[in-house]
Amino acid sequence: MSINSQLKIAIDGPAGSGKSTVAREVARRLNVVYLDTGAMYRAIALKLLRESCDLSEPGRVEAQLEQTTVQILADERILLDGEDVTDEIRSAAVNAVVSRVAELPAVRRKMVRQQQEIAAVSEGIVMEGRDIASTVMPDAPFKFYLDAALPVRARRRYLEQRDKGLPLSYEKTVHQINERDRIDSGRADSPLRITPGTAVIDTTTLTIEEVVEQILQGINLQAD
């Protein structure tokens, strides 16, 4: 595939749209870096939970952020202050607060700055999240927005959590995703939205392979 080595691909979308799985596979096929920005926000959420930090107190949040480091290793392990928290950031407790943490301006500033630094030194990157095309990599030549019907997204997330042993009913999962959609789309700082020039892919009835192929074809067409 004749793609520029400085390839930047932004993939946004709501919870359960399939963006993590798709982005990871696209990165693998293109042999470039994959970055799950949601994992970074989850790590911060875990830190604030551990410290019993009141999210309504910006000063306390900023004080914690000043002494917090988040690293994503090449094998996708997540280090929080040097500790491997790859599994813990997917816990039900983190799921319940991550959107509230991610809407805090201080948190977003820190994470966006770090994400942009990673993109700047990467020869090629597939970055996925909720504000990649709008804020983190607005100059990315390839932008995609994945979406799917709410029942389908909730079903995917329910099965994912069940396989990990997380006791959450389908009904509770629907409520949780609905709430995350509301927070992510309504926050003042870098809300989830479709930016101009972004290709929208409805993954409701598509397989992962079909979505990956659509993205790879879209990249080839734009690069020619």
Check whether 1 has a pLDDT greater than 50: no
What is the model's pLDDT at position 221?
Answer: 66
The mean per-residue pLDDT over the stretch 90-114 comes to 93
pLDDT, tens digit, for every residue of 103-141? 999 999 999 999 999 999 999 999 999 999 999 999 999
Fold category of 8-209 in CATH: Rossmann fold (3.40.50)
Task: Classify strands 33-36 and 125-129 as parallel, antiparallel or unpaired.
Answer: parallel
Check whether 205 has a pLDDT greater than 80: yes
In angstroms, the Cα distances linking 9 to 45, 161, 207 are 26, 28, 20
pLDDT, tens digit, for every residue of 45-74? 999 999 999 999 999 999 999 999 999 998
Q: Is 197 left (phi over 0), alpha (psi -120 to 50) or beta?
A: left
Higher-pLDDT residue of 154, 188: 154
- From 15, 21, 14, select the one nearest 215 (Cα to Cα): 21
The mean per-residue pLDDT over the stretch 32-39 comes to 96
DSSP codes joined into one string, 122-156: -SSEEEEESSIIIII-TT-SEEEEEE--HHHHHHH
**Overall pTM surpassing 0.85 (yes/no):** yes
The answer to whether residues 118 and 35 touch, using CB atoms and an 8 Å cutoff, is yes
What is the model's pLDDT at position 2?
Answer: 40
Residue type at 101 in one-letter notation: V
How far apart are the C-alpha atoms of 124 and 203, rounded to whole Å?
A: 25
DSSP state of 194: P
